[in-house]
Structure formats: C-alpha cells, structure tokens
Structure 1
Amino acid sequence: MAKLIVADQNSLARYNVDGSIDSSFGTNGQVLLSSLTFAPINTVTALASQPDGSIIALR
C-alpha cells in the first residue's frame, strides 16, 4: 500500500492513502530527525523510499 512521507526541518511523518497519520511509523507516525543516531539534519532536500520500506533523507 502506498504511503506519503512528509519532511520538515525537524521531522519525518508518514500518512496513509486516506490522509490519516500512519501510527506504525516512528512514534505516533513521526520521527524526529534530531533523535537519530547520526548528525542532525538541518534541511531535508530529497526523500527516497526503498523497496524494503526504509527511507533515505538527503540534506
């Protein structure tokens, strides 16, 4: 099933096709970028979704 991934400066969020938040993603549908184990991302410039469901966020 398709999902919509949205990025802002501080987080990623994933939505279902009906527009509801995908609560199975991160914490209640959201991942704070500053909580990741690598250097914080200041601005996301591109997103890619892999076939295995992983997400690549480029800055």
Structure 2
Amino acid sequence: MFGLFKSDPAKKLRKQYNAKLEAAMQAQRNGDIRTYSMLTQEADTLWKQLEPLEKQRG
C-alpha cells in the first residue's frame, strides 16, 4: 500500500541520463566537441548504473 510513495531510483537516473544526452547534442550542434565528448562519457556512466535497474524491473 505504501509502495506508492517510494521514489523509483531508475526513474531519477533515466531523467539525468536523458538530460546529459540532450546537453551533449546541443554542445555538438554548437561545435563544442570537447564538451560533447565529456557529456557523452558522463551519460555512459549513468547508463551503466541504470542498466541493471532496468533489467531488474523486467
């Protein structure tokens, strides 16, 4: 019953992951390849944390 009020860590990581990818895309469009690669690497790190949680969910 009270599981309704628990936060989902996968949802939070997914939101951060999508934000990093969006920022990376904008940096690439602006020609800032260094920032693009840094943000892509951070997004990859988030994905490695998110992937097991997504698999656990089903």
Larger relative contact order, structure 1 or 2 (CA cutoff 8 Å, min sep 6): 2
Q: Structure 1 length normalisation: TM-score?
A: 0.23
Q: Structure 2 length normalisation: TM-score?
A: 0.23
Higher strand proportion, which one?
1
Higher helix proportion, which one?
2
